Amino acid sequence: MIEVNQLTKRFARHEAVRGIDFSVDRGEIVGFLGPNGAGKTTTLRMLTGYLPPTSGTATIAGHDIFRESIEARRKIGYMPENVPLYEDMRVREYLKFRANIKGLGFSDTHRRVNSVIDTCGLGDVRRKMIKTLSKGYRQRVGLADALVHDPELLILDEPTNGLDPNQIRQIRELIRHLSQSHTVLISTHILSEVEMTCNRVIIIDGGRIKAADTPANLISQMRAAGRIQVEIQADPQIVTTAIQQLDSIKKVTSEPHDEAWTRFTVWIDSGADARADIAYVAAKHGWPLRSLFRHVATLEDVFVELTRKD
């Protein structure tokens, strides 16, 4: 569905996107991630025809986005981060207007507007003025606009921006439903949403692709140390010294927790698990042990490892 080869964008002396390559297959939900200024939005704007590239190529459903711009854009439904809506129009009126702009005829406009109103859960507000809608409903109107011409590819830039937890869950379920008939590329900062929604993740930083894989594979390939937290009632220095003598231990830190209890954070080699050894040491010395658990790596840990500057 998307093929990007050596795509580059320069602004004067600043190279925002530096010869990136990636692909998105039909039917995938792909998360496009990166810190602020990494080149995410610039890449999306090039893919959707809003910005010309400096060099490189990209195709959407087989159409070159530069040589066949109109054909490529017909395949795309784009929802920008800050959805531009005509607030003095009613929801249904606005969607009909947008369908006409996108070249739909009378019968197709009627059919598609009814379809996206149903798909995006806008039936109860279809006659309301857009300016009276909540943030969640405005996002739904923006998504309906992106869908009204029935594109093969949806590009969503921060689709849950500014929404409360309930609204985020509703948009997440809607995106999952849409993936049954559309390819979806999502740019977002909410990494927990990406883990729950996306089949694959592309991480960009400094204008370059740092990783592209499934969330599970990226987590399993992490080079960063694992982490164990344990609460023990004993002298912190003695406990630290004893734990540091175990195999696979990289570092031990401690902080007072409550009363006589101390919380220790034990950094271990990636893939190692020293919980049994720590429990044995505590039992051997007769130290009361209140909790012991291993931190499970998340996509956030992968993101930080790949994009941190230290």
How do residues 91-133 score in pLDDT, each as one tens digit? 999 999 999 999 999 999 999 999 999 988 899 999 999 999 9
Pairwise CA distance, residues 14 & 184, whole Å: 29
Same domain, residue pair 154 and 21: yes
| Residue-by-residue DSSP string for 152-201 | SEEEEESTTTT--HHHHHHHHHHHHHHTTTSEEEEE-S-HHHHHHH-SEE
Q: What is the pLDDT of residues 168-187, one digit of tens each?
A: 888 888 888 888 889 999 98
User: What is the reported pLDDT for 310?
Assistant: 58
Q: What is the pLDDT of residues 23-76, one digit of tens each?
A: 999 889 999 998 888 898 899 999 998 899 999 999 999 999 888 999 999 999
Count of domains for the chain: 2
Report yes or no: 224 and 253 within 8 Å, Cβ to Cβ. no
Same domain, residue pair 88 and 156: yes
126: region left, alpha or beta (phi > 0 left; psi from -120 to 50 alpha): alpha
Residue 222 has pLDDT above 70, yes or no: no
Residue 309 has pLDDT above 70, yes or no: no
- CATH code for the domain in which residue 141 is found: 3.40.50.300
| Owning domain of residue 100 | 2-220
Cβ atoms < 10 Å from Cβ of 210: 17
| Mean per-residue pLDDT of the chain | 89
Distances 15 to 19, 208, 285 between C-alpha atoms, Å: 10, 10, 59
Same domain, residue pair 187 and 299: no
Distances 276 to 24, 58, 232, 246, 268 between C-alpha atoms, Å: 43, 52, 14, 11, 13
Same domain, residue pair 236 and 196: no
Same domain, residue pair 196 and 288: no
Same domain, residue pair 127 and 253: no
Same domain, residue pair 213 and 246: no
Report the DSSP beta bridge partners of residue 300: none
User: What is the reported pLDDT for 225?
Assistant: 61
Nearest to 240 by CA among 267, 270, 259, 258: 267
